[in-house]
Amino acid sequence: MRVRQPASSDINLDDIDTRLNELWNFDQAISYSKQKDSLQKELENFLLGLPGKPSLAIVSPRDLCRFLVFKDRGGKTQVHRNGRVYLGQRGTHSCGCPVRLSYKTVDSYIGKLRSIFHAIGRDGEWDKRFSLGSSAADKSVKDYLRLITAEQLQARITPKQATLSFHLDQKLASEDLSPSQRFIVARDQAYFKCVFFSGDRPGDRGLVKVPDILRFPNDYGFLFNRVWEKTFGDGDENVFGIRRNPQLAICPIKGIEQYMVVARDLKIDLTTGYLFSPTNSQGGIVDSPLFFSNRRSLS
């Protein structure tokens, strides 16, 4: 028996692909729903163990942060303390440093918590006076995410990143550099040290403007504004802080301070415009964002 082959006119790929997309979207929706339901049950069981046994209708932002800390029990990200031999190395080691949820997982949980509260009619900003709104949208929950993110980024500096920092520092100490080369090396070591501690969007670092930088009290670090809006979740707070690190070879604050000293010695004004300024082929400073993908035309 001869089987008739379908003609090209019989095949509607648009309809076929639409059906496949429907199935994949359905599968993703079911998976997300199951994850959210499971998280809600975990939260409700956790609240039963707290004083007063608060319900979802009245749970506070602090209790949500407590729940997220409780969830660290299932984490797989080891957060090494400063000075430990495994600092920056992947995997779990026998150093005794704590194992936490990754900050990306926590970010996902916070998104699901917002969805949970939305489903029970708790939307909007949290009002602690009347226990109204979404406690998952409170600033303290965002601060929790911000702090654990900074903690984990600091702990995950890799050996390759440390080697790059050391190489640039050694090069900066060389007496054979021209003024333009000295500026470029000083800028690059500060730039990369900031990238190591500030998340997964290195392109945003080139957009930093000096007027948007503030110092923490006691000179503990820097606060960058209007730059990091896509780094952590919803972007309600366009602010990101970098703290001093006791390991001076990789400390981003030390790197920026070295950069400022070199610029001052070269009589280059960095009080306005972009912090990480590129140079042109003649060695002049260009007041524009620094993008390392464009290093062929700008250094």
pLDDT tens profile 271-288: 888 888 888 887 788 877
The pLDDT assigned to 231 comes to 42
The pLDDT assigned to 144 comes to 92
**Longest C-alpha distance within the chain, in Å?**
89
Q: How confident is the model at residue 112 (pLDDT cuts 50, 70, 90)?
A: very high
Closest CA to 242 of 212, 203, 216: 216
The pLDDT assigned to 276 comes to 86
The pLDDT assigned to 138 comes to 92
pTM: 0.51
The pLDDT assigned to 239 comes to 59
Specify which of 212-226, 260-274, 279-293 reaches the highest per-range mean pLDDT: 260-274
CB within 8 Å of 29: residues ≥ 6 apart: none
pLDDT tens profile 156-180: 656 567 678 878 888 888 888 999 9
The pLDDT assigned to 167 comes to 84
Q: What average pLDDT does the segment 97-102 reach?
A: 83
Burial category of 27 from C-beta neighbours within 10 Å (exposed 0-12, middle 13-18, buried 19 and up): exposed
Bridge pairing between strands 221-225 and 213-215: antiparallel
CA-CA distance, 17 to 22, in Å (whole number)? 9
Ranges assigned E (strand) in 86-236: 99-100, 213-215, 221-225
291 against 242, higher pLDDT: 242
214: left (phi over 0), alpha (psi -120 to 50) or beta: beta
pLDDT tens profile 36-55: 889 999 999 999 999 999 99
Percentage of the residues of the chain whose pLDDT score is greater than 90: 22
Amino acid letter for position 298: L
Assess whether pLDDT exceeds 50 at residue 233.
no
Amino acid letter for position 200: D
Q: Are 185 and 172 in contact (CB under 8 A)?
A: yes
Q: Provide the token pair at 275.
A: 């912090």
Average pLDDT, the chain: 78
Q: Estimate the share of the chain in helix, then strand, then coil, as percent rounded to the nearest 5.
A: 50, 10, 40
Closest CA to 283 of 180, 177, 172, 185: 180
DSSP SS3 for 37: helix
The pLDDT assigned to 68 comes to 96
- 8-17, 53-62, 156-165: least confidently modelled range: 156-165
86 against 36, higher pLDDT: 36
